[in-house]
C-alpha cells in the first residue's frame, strides 16, 4: 500500500546554525530516475530567483512572502529535514512527524510519498531543503506540468501495490496516475445536511485536517490494504465513514 500526499506551502524552518550540505541532494531522493528533471528544474529555479522581483511575480508571492525567494538560491547545499518533518500546516500537523516512533517512521519511509513541486514525488523520509514553489508557480522556460507529467507518471507507474491518492488536483496533475490500475483518488466530503442524502464538498481546512488525521491513523495501525475495497473496510473498522463511488473513495470529513 502506498499513500500519495500533497506538500504544504508552510514548512518547518531550519534551526539557527543548521548544517549545510556538500553532498549530492538528489542521491537521497526516491525515484533516482527523476534526477535529470530535478536538477534542471532546480537550476532554472535558482536562475529565476537571482532576480527577486521577477521571481516573486513568477512564483505568485505577495509582499509578505517575497523574502522567501531567497530560499531557492542555494537548494543543493541548504540544510535538510525528512520530508514528512519539513512540511507543516493543517494536513501535516496531526501527523506529528518529529514524534513518530521508529516503527512508524519505517512504515512512512516505505509507504508514504509526497508530491513536491521542485523535486517531484519523494519519499516521506527523504531529506529536503526548505523552498518556495507551488504547483501553480512558473519556472521558465516551461510549466511544471510539462516538466513533471511524463516523468512523474512513469515513476509512480513503477509502484507495486494499491495506491491511495490524497493529493490535491493541482498536484495530482503534476504526476498523474494511469487511467486504470490498482489505485483510488480519495475525495473528502461533508456529511449530508439534515434531510439530505447527498454529501457536499468539504471546506479546504477540513479537507486537509481529515487527510492528516487519516494519515496519522494509518501510521498508528499500519494496515496492508491491497485495494480500495480493503481500504474502505479498514476505514470502517476504524470508525470512519467511507465508500467507493464512481471509482473514487468518498471519505466523510472529520472536524
Instruction: Please return the burial class of 185, using the count of CB atoms within 10 Å of its CB with bins 0-12, 13-18 and 19+.
Output: middle
DSSP letter string, 51-93:
SHHHHHHHTT--TTTGGGGGGGGSTTTS-EEEHHHHB-STTTG
pLDDT recorded at residue 191: 82
Closest to 50 in 3D by CA, of 139, 148, 146: 139
Q: How confident is the model over 16-69, as pLDDT tens digits?
A: 767 677 789 999 999 999 999 999 999 999 999 999 999 999 998 887 887 889
Over the range 56-86, which residues count as b (16 or more CB within 10 Å of their CB) and which as e? bebbebeeeebebbebbeebbebbbbbbbbb
- State residue 35's pLDDT score: 97
pLDDT interval class at 201 (50, 70, 90): confident
| Beta strand 2-5 pairing with 163-165 | parallel
pLDDT score of 197 more than 80:
no
Instruction: Output the pTM of the full model.
Output: 0.94
The stretch 186-213 carries a mean pLDDT of 85
So what's the pLDDT on residue 67?
82
What residues pair up with 243 in beta bridges, in sequence order? 250
The tens digit of pLDDT for each residue in 65-111 reads: 878 899 999 999 999 999 999 999 999 999 999 999 999 999 999 99
According to the model, what pLDDT value does residue 195 have?
Answer: 66
Residue 177 has what pLDDT? 97
Backbone angles phi, psi at 177, to 5 degrees: -80, 155
> Quick check: 145 and 74 in contact, CB under 8 A?
no
Q: Are 184 and 165 in contact (CB under 8 A)?
A: yes
| Those residues with Cβ within 8 angstroms of residue 181's Cβ, 6 or more apart along the chain or in another chain | 157, 163
Which residues face 115 on adjacent strands?
Answer: 121
Predicted local distance difference test score (pLDDT) of residue 19: 67
What pLDDT does residue 17 have? Answer: 66
Tell me the per-residue pLDDT of 182-196, one tens digit each, with 9 for 90 and over: 999 999 999 877 766
Which tens digit of pLDDT belongs to each residue from 134-177? 999 999 999 999 999 999 999 999 999 999 999 999 999 999 99
Indicate the SS3 state at residue 253.
coil
Q: Is the peptide bond before 42 cis (omega within 30 degrees of 0)?
A: no
The residues, any chain, with a CB within 8 Å of residue 42's CB and separated by 6 or more, are 25, 75, 76, 118
In this structure, of 152-156, 175-179, 199-203, 218-222, the range with the lowest mean pLDDT score is 199-203
Distance CA 230, CA 226 (A): 6
Amino acid at each position: 500500500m502506498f499513500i500519495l500526499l500533497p506538500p504544504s506551502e508552510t514548512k518547518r524552518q531550519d534551526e539557527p546554525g543548521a548544517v549545510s550540505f556538500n553532498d549530492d541532494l538528489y542521491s537521497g531522493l526516491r525515484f533516482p530516475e527523476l534526477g535529470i528533471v530535478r536538477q534542471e528544474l532546480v537550476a532554472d529555479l535558482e536562475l529565476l530567483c537571482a532576480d527577486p522581483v521577477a521571481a516573486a511575480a513568477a512564483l505568485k508571492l505577495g509582499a509578505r512572502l517575497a523574502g522567501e525567494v531567497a530560499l531557492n538560491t542555494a537548494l543543493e547545499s541548504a540544510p535538510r529535514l525528512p520530508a514528512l518533518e519539513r512540511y507543516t500546516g493543517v494536513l501535516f500537523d496531526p501527523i506529528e512527524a518529529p514524534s513518530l516512533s521508529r516503527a512508524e517512521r519505517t512504515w512512512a519511509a516505505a509507504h508514504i510519498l509526497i508530491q513536491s513541486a521542485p523535486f517531484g514525488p519523494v519519499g516521506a523520509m527523504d531529506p529536503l531543503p526548505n523552498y518556495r514553489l507551488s504547483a501553480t508557480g512558473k519556472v521558465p522556460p516551461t510549466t511544471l506540468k510539462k516538466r513533471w507529467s511524463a516523468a512523474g507518471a512513469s515513476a509512480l507507474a513503477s509502484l507495486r501495490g494499491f495506491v491511495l491518492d490524497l493529493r490535491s488536483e493541482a498536484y495530482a496533475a503534476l504526476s498523474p496516475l494511469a487511467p486504470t490500475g490498482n489505485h483510488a483518488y480519495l475525495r473528502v466530503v461533508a456529511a449530508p445536511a439534515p434531510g439530505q442524502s447527498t454529501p457536499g464538498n468539504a471546506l479546504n481546512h477540513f479537507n486537509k485536517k481529515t487527510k492528516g488525521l487519516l494519515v496519522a491513523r494509518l501510521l498508528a495501525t499500519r494496515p496492508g490494504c491491497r485495494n480500495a475495497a480493503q481500504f474502505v473496510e479498514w476505514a470502517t473498522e476504524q470508525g470512519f465513514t467511507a465508500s467507493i463511488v464512481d471509482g473514487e473513495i468518498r471519505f466523510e470529513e472529520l472536524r
